[in-house]
Amino acid sequence: MPSLESVDDRLQQAMKLVLLATLPGALMMFWLYGWGVLINLILAGIAALSVEAAMLHLRKRPLGASLSDGSALVSATLLALALPPYCPWWLTVSAAAFAMVLGKHLYGGVGSNPFNPAMLGVALVLVTFPQQMTHWPSSHGMDLSSALQQVFGFGQAPDAWVRATALDSLRINKSLTMDELFSANPAFGHFGGRGVEWVNLAFLAGGAFLLQRKVFSWHAPVGMLASLFVISLLCWNGSGSDSHGSPLFHLLTGATMLGAFFIVTEPVSGAKSPIARLLFGAGVGLLTYLIRTWGGYPDGVAFAVLLMNLCVPALERFAVARQEQSAS
């Protein structure tokens, strides 16, 4: 049986690899949006580590090993990358605090959380502060001084600087064909959201690195991407004005690749057996499409993950039953 020290070492090594793998996507977001991305990362990291330390102190747990395992920093990083750049500082801090307290320590800390902490933090601020969560900037960023003023409430961004995302624009479109929408709306790029296509490809590259290093198995990411591709293909009616977007659009827009390789692969709240992981990912992909297309929020990854977290026990029972049936 492996020692506790070896388990802690493996956890710390895995967290370091996950943080390293987020770099391509984070750098691409920084190139696209500017300083707001870095400010989000710093604020979320400081808030998450501070709340983590406070909760460990209240629970009379040792600070050193728990703070250095990297789990809080990974949750903070994923949360920050899912929030709009230049959102108010208090929103980022609130999301990080929600993630650490309600998503992690309420259930006993690392290794015990039934919900993905980062997505719980995102979902709570999305429901509580929907207006601030829809203020995504256009693809040109601010200088550092203007960014700090915007985040900390000392300045007001011009209306032209905030725009609807490609997913928002597609949801409210009633008259333009897809070709007209892509050519007339600056939120659209070649296949998905302008610039967001490259962000998704960067997270895909980071996810491929983690797969190569065997940080997680292929089942959940492939299940999510395959499910999203199939349902969007079945519901795609070409380029008409009532189109819900092509499969390629959904794969390269929003938080698809971040969700597929960094969220659904979270080992604690996700499924454990291969069959259950595949079904878990497929459920996230299906729910993401349904929420994007007919739900009340433009990108449904956070809610899809949390809903499938609830289904993990049932998925595991199904997987065990299948294995027993195959063995008999």
Q: Report DSSP letters for 257-315, one per residue.
A: HHIIIIITT-TTTS--SHHHHHHHHHHHHHHHHHHHHHSSSS--HHHHHHHHHHHHHHH
Average pLDDT over residues 219-243: 86
List the beta bridge partners of residue 137: 162
What is the reported pLDDT for 325? 78
- The answer to which of 24-33, 91-100, 162-171, 319-328 has the lowest mean pLDDT is 162-171
| 3-state DSSP helix/strand/coil % of the chain, to nearest 5 | 70, 0, 30
What mean pLDDT is reported for the chain?
86
Examine the pLDDT at 4 and tell me if it is beyond 50.
Answer: no
Of the ranges 191-200, 231-240, 244-253, 312-321, which is most confident?
Answer: 312-321
The predicted pLDDT at position 1 comes to: 44
Per residue in 278-321, pLDDT tens?
999 999 999 999 998 888 887 889 999 999 999 999 999 999 88
Q: Average the pLDDT over 109-114 and give the result.
A: 85
Kindly state the average pLDDT of the residues 121-137.
89
Sequence-separated (6 or more) residues with CB below 8 Å from residue 211 = 218, 221, 261
**pLDDT above 70 (res 7):** no
Where helices occur in 107-263 by DSSP H, the ranges are 117-128, 130-133, 144-151, 166-172, 178-184, 196-212, 219-235, 247-251, 256-258
- Cα 18 to Cα 192: distance, rounded to the nearest angstrom: 26
Q: How far apart are CA 237 and CA 159, in angstroms?
A: 34
Whether 212 contacts 280, CB under 8 Å: no
Question: Which amino acid does the sequence have at 115?
Answer: F
For the segment 88-113, the average pLDDT, to the nearest whole number, is 92
Q: pTM of this prediction?
A: 0.90
